Amino acid sequence: MQTLVFSTNNKHKLEEVQALVGDKFQLMTLEEIGCFDDIPETGITFEANASQKSHYIYERFQLNCFSDDSGLEVDVLNKEPGVFSAHYSGSRDSEENLQLVLKKMEGKEERSARFRCVISLILNGQEHFFEGSVEGEITQIKGGSAGFGYDPIFKPAGYDRTFSEMSSEEKNNISHRGIAIQKMVEFLNSVTKD
Ligand code: IMP
């Protein structure tokens, strides 16, 4: 079994992704490889940030690794919050961030938005990108309390519920991150022998 570093310290995220990756690769967190740095994320695109994180790890640890970067793009807000999703209001508080989006959207009829996720995988020195997105719209008010971030105000197209009103399994099946990870898993399966 090969080792693959997932640049996260979120055990929950790791377990979820490990289940999808299967037993060809043993995923490891940053902590597990002894990386306690605050990895810079200074890019202005999801691609740039994901790539920056993967390169940071690969250059220091010479280990195969992948990193993801994701966020919400609202069309009438010129695709904001985008790469600033985690701290759009100036704070990392999800409630403040989603309230700012709702405030900026007051009176707006056009409410289309999407979540995007980009993964940068560095495997044996070669970088590969995988992307997932889910189209939807920003609701007028919050719905549900499950999930995190902007989940309570994002209603995926074709559904009458927000991400917060779905089970995590239901959300993962259609989410930007779920799709991007699935694409990476297919790639890993295609390049590794059993
Ligand atoms: P990250 O790159 O996955 O850490 O995501 C950055 C930020 O985007 C998060 O802090 C959230 O505010 C937002 N975000 C990304 N994915 C989701 C999601 O699935 N639901 C809600 N918010 C999300």
- Ligand 1 neighbours (beta carbon < 6 A): 68-72, 85-86, 115, 147-151, 163, 175
Q: Which domain does 59 fall in, by range?
A: 2-191
- For residue 70, the CA-to-ligand 1 centroid distance in Å is 6
What's the domain count of the chain?
Answer: 1
Note the helical H segments in the chain: 11-21, 46-61, 94-104, 168-174, 176-191
The pTM assigned to this predicted structure is: 0.94
Confidence grade of residue 1 (pLDDT, cut at 50, 70, 90): confident
Q: What is the per-residue pLDDT for 194?
A: 65
In this predicted structure, the answer to whether residue 177 has a pLDDT above a threshold of 70 is: yes
Amino acid at 192: T
Q: Catalytic: 23?
A: no
For 127-172, how does the pLDDT look when each residue is reduced to its tens digit (9 = 90+)? 999 999 999 999 999 999 998 999 999 999 999 999 999 998 899 8
Domain with residue 66: its CATH number is 3.90.950.10
182: left (phi over 0), alpha (psi -120 to 50) or beta: alpha
